[in-house]
Amino acid sequence: MAALAKLRNWGYPHRPMDALHALLTPSSGAAAIFVPILRKCWTRRGRTATLAALFLAGCAAPAQAPRSVAARGLAEADLQATAARMDPAMRALARRHDAGRRAPDLWGRPVGWGNLDVAAIPDLGFSRASAQTAQEVNALRPFARLPIRPMRPFVLAADGEDRSRALQCLTQAVYYEAAREPTKGQEAVAQVVLNRLRHPAYPKSVCGVVYQGSARATGCQFTFTCDGALKWAPEPALWARAQTVARQALAGFVLKDVGSATHYHANYVAPYWAPTLVKMSQVGAHIFYRWTGPWGEPPAFIGRYAGGEARLTQAILQGGDSRTDLTPEADGLPGGRTITLAVAGEVRTYTVKDPRTPDGTRTRVLGTIYAPRRQPTPEEVRSINASLAVMEAGFGDAEATPPVAGPTGAAP
């Protein structure tokens, strides 16, 4: 014990394992003194006593009182040193609750959802996503496990100027959307244009489909019609290749890989409308989608080619896709009438929406009054009453006619 006390006076640690380490270290100054003592004590009978003495020597050391963070100092360097001594989980929790941090902590929420502003459409940040992020998002969205049904062949029933204009517009779509895609990728773009032509929701000419919404600041259906790409002259070889694909499509060629697809986008962008459609397949760098439900199936494509390729009306140039547009008023549709009401001395002006919507659904907006449903015509009223009379007569007959009794006895 006297030897251990002398070891403490030399400044060695008070814990027993540290003391034992000091005793067994040949380079220490105490080795010459304590190694002979340890050899004498390290007998079969003295081992237990030696270890007990070392343990008691460590326990006899005065315990150090824990120091608070404030005692170590509140300067930036002191706080950084305190944080460095924490384990990673404790450090992350402390920084998360640090009121002095200037940057808001989203706690894992998507960009734009830190504070939800009901006056604006929520933004998941996809519109600003990098190409790599968009590819990762697209990879997370699975393809639908629904069958891809091929479309019927489309043969352009036109000649003269309409045929040449239709070929020109379809070639432009194939070239500017997929000039450097493989042949199948170009055929897929041409298939989408012709699918839209036959769908009830889109114009009934090739040029009308391609240039729909091109006069709008945003919302053109094919990007090249409103992003300035047309000012660049096409490369002759690539243009000839695109024209071959367009001519083949107008002659009845069908690409079965995309079926009834009416939408597509490049795999390096993640548009907001992609999760609202049926994800069908990917051909080249483009991912293809169709409408949900029966309107996305081939039987719904009952539109007929109307010709008039040169007649790109304002309704077409300002029009949009009713399936994916968030604001139908931006398509040039009538916004309805306005009324002014005075309630409790407060005067407010409201816009009355037209209840007839393309998909039969309606979005409620604060400060907007929605018109009631359309009143039935006299013919419809008479038809409804006649149907009700037939139903009532049927119920009366059922009540007057007694039920037929079934057999009561057991079968022989």
Residue 168 lies in a domain: yes
Q: What is the pLDDT of residues 376-386, one digit of tens each?
A: 778 888 888 88
Residue 348 sits at φ, ψ, to 5 deg, of -135, 150
Instruction: Check whether 105 has a pLDDT greater than 80.
Output: no
Count how many residues are written for the chain.
412
In a domain, 210, yes or no: yes
- Do 207 and 341 lie in a common domain? no
Distance CA 272, CA 324 (A): 9
The answer to the question of residue 245 being in a domain is: yes
Q: CA–CA separation, 193 vs 195, rounded Å?
A: 5
Q: Where are the beta strands (DSSP E) in 255-367?
A: 263-266, 278-283, 286-290, 337-343, 346-353
Q: Looking at the structure, do residues 356 and 267 belong to the same domain, yes or no?
A: no
Buried-state track 258-283, b at ≥16 Cβ within 10 A, e below 16: bbbbbbbbbbebbbeebeebbbbbbb
Instruction: Express as a percent the part of the chain with pLDDT over 70.
Output: 58
Which residue in this structure is represented by tokens 């009540």? 399
At 411, is the pLDDT very low, low, confident or very high (cuts 50, 70, 90)? very low
Q: What is the CATH number of the domain that holds 198?
A: 1.10.10.2520
Which of the four pLDDT bands, split at 50, 70 and 90, describes residue 132? confident
Q: Write down the pTM of the prediction.
A: 0.54
Q: For residue 288, list its beta bridge partners.
A: 264, 281
**Runs of H (alpha helix) within 262-355:** 314-317
Do 172 and 270 share a structural domain?
A: yes
Q: Which residues contact 371 (CB under 8 A, 6 or more apart)?
A: 336, 352, 353, 354, 355
262 and 298 both lie in a single domain: yes
**234 and 278 both lie in a single domain:** yes
Question: pLDDT tens digits, residue range 57-66?
Answer: 555 545 444 5
Give the β-pairing of 346-353 and 286-290: unpaired
115 vs 316: which has the higher pLDDT? 316
Q: Could you give the strand order of the β-sheet that contains 263-266, starting from the edge strand earlier in sequence?
A: 263-266, 286-290, 278-283
Are 234 and 297 found together in one domain?
Answer: yes
Domain that holds residue 35: 2-59
Beta carbons of 34 and 3 less than 8 angstroms apart: yes
